[in-house]
Amino acid sequence: MLMKPMTTPQKVALGYFVILAFVAGLNYIPGFKDEQGLICGVFELDIADDLLHLGSALWAFLGAILSRRAAIFYLTAFGAIYLGDGLLGLATGSGYLDLGIWRWGVQDLPFGFKIAANTPHILLGGAALLSGLKFRRT
């Protein structure tokens, strides 16, 4: 059975799989954690975060291998979810994907830390959402 070539949305979803699988493994790759256990000196990722990133990676992989339509759905839905989490984290210091807004509420954290901690979700989510919306129109 011959496989159809991947469409651009499927390739983008596959790229998200690679990025998110890498992020899920950061806790386990020597050299990324500092002496306080922070990834790149900023992020503290626990097993729940790792599982969330791994689940997001698997969702991206499924979208990539299933169809153009599945890839576009993944990019749009994932993008909206991650962008929203990052914006909430920027505004309140707590996101919803890790249930932080319910566990810790609004946190009084330095704004620079909030930017560093939430920029990955804002950038990844925003780029995925914009890509998904663009691919839906074409």
Mean per-residue pLDDT, 16-28: 93
pTM of the model: 0.90
Residue 39 β-bridge partners: 33, 43
Q: Name the maximum alpha-carbon separation found in the chain.
A: 57
Q: How confident is the model at residue 32 (pLDDT cuts 50, 70, 90)?
A: confident
On the question of pLDDT at 127 being above 60, the answer is: yes
The pLDDT score that the predictor gives to residue 38 is 77
Q: Which of 9, 6, 4 is nearest to 78 (CA)?
A: 9
Measured N-to-C along each axis, helices 68-92 and 8-25 cross at an angle, to the nearest 10 degrees, of 50
Query: CA angle at residue 55 from 75 to 19, to 5 degrees?
Result: 60
Q: In 10 A of CB 29, how many CB atoms?
A: 10
Q: Region of 24 please: left (phi>0), alpha (psi -120 to 50) or beta.
A: alpha
Instruction: Give me the percent of the chain exceeding a pLDDT of 70.
Output: 98
